[in-house]
Structure 1
Amino acid sequence: MKILTSGQHLDLGDSLRAYIDEKLPVAVAKYMDNAIEAQVVFSREGSMYSCHCSVHVGTGIDAQAEGQDTEIYASFDQALDRLAKQLRRDKRKRRNHHTRVPSADETA
């Protein structure tokens, strides 16, 4: 998965980029195996940091989430939690609930 990390009028350090590269693929791969691209944008509004995460998983599957906190890492964690929740719900919705389970008579 290709991860683009940027900051609007912010200088993001290597430790934050490493943190994002470590956490984001794990959270997305838990629900969707074939994620293509992710974009993480940080901005600062007053004393609050804002993180906007966008993930493109496949055809017609895009998820976006935003988090705000006074700490930049906490804002990313909030956005990641919301993103994981969206992906979990989307996967649950796409699951085929009409699969037929063979009975005991058919398997014997």
Structure 2
Amino acid sequence: MQINLSGHHIELTDALRSYVSEKFQRLERHFDNMIDVHVILSVEKLRQKAEASLNLSGNQLFADAVSEDMYAAIDALVDKLDRQVIKHKEKTKDHHKAEATKRTAT
């Protein structure tokens, strides 16, 4: 997975870069077919905003989060994307295979 990180009105420090990459490693545990991620961190007055676009095989997910703290915004963003990735994984899972094995076993 390739993470593209950009900042609007904010200087991207090494601490922010490592925090984002560490948090996005959690998403890879749930779903392996992630192609790339584009993360935008921005500051608008007192609002810290984090948004991400995630390209999966056959789909694209988007989420954003706003908080007073940038690290809290990144945490909320990853939580939102985590729920979307799990939902996408469940949709792509073949549920009929389990039914076929049940019928042949009985």
Check whether TM > 0.5: yes
2:2 — aligned with what? 2
Query: What whole-Å deviation, never above 9, does each CA across 1:30-69 have from its counterpart, x for those lacking one?
Result: 22212111111011122110000111121x2111110110
Map 1:2-81 → 2, pairs under 5 A: 2-24=2-24, 26-58=25-57, 60-81=58-79
User: When you count helix as a share of all residues, which structure comes out higher?
Assistant: 2
Amino acid at match of 1:33: D
User: In 1, Cα distance between the equivalents of 2:66 and 2:87?
Assistant: 22
Any unmatched runs of 5+ in structure 2?
Answer: none
Aligned Cα RMSD in Å?
1.2
Q: Which moved more, 1:45-54 or 1:95-104?
A: 95-104
Instruction: State the structure with more CA Rg.
Output: 1
Matched residue pairs, number? 102
How high is the sequence identity, in percent, across the aligned residues? Answer: 30
User: In 1, Cα distance between the equivalents of 2:29 and 2:61?
Assistant: 14
Runs of 4+ in 1 over 6 A off after TM superposition: none
TM-score, scaled to structure 2:
0.89
User: In 2, Cα distance between the equivalents of 1:7 and 1:15?
Assistant: 14
Amino acid at match of 1:19: Y
- Which secondary structure state, in structure 1, belongs to the residue aligned with residue 65 of structure 2? strand
TM-score, scaled to structure 1:
0.87
Any unmatched runs of 5+ in structure 1?
Answer: none
- Which secondary structure state, in structure 1, belongs to the residue aligned with residue 77 of structure 2? helix
- Which secondary structure state, in structure 2, belongs to the residue aligned with residue 33 of structure 1? coil
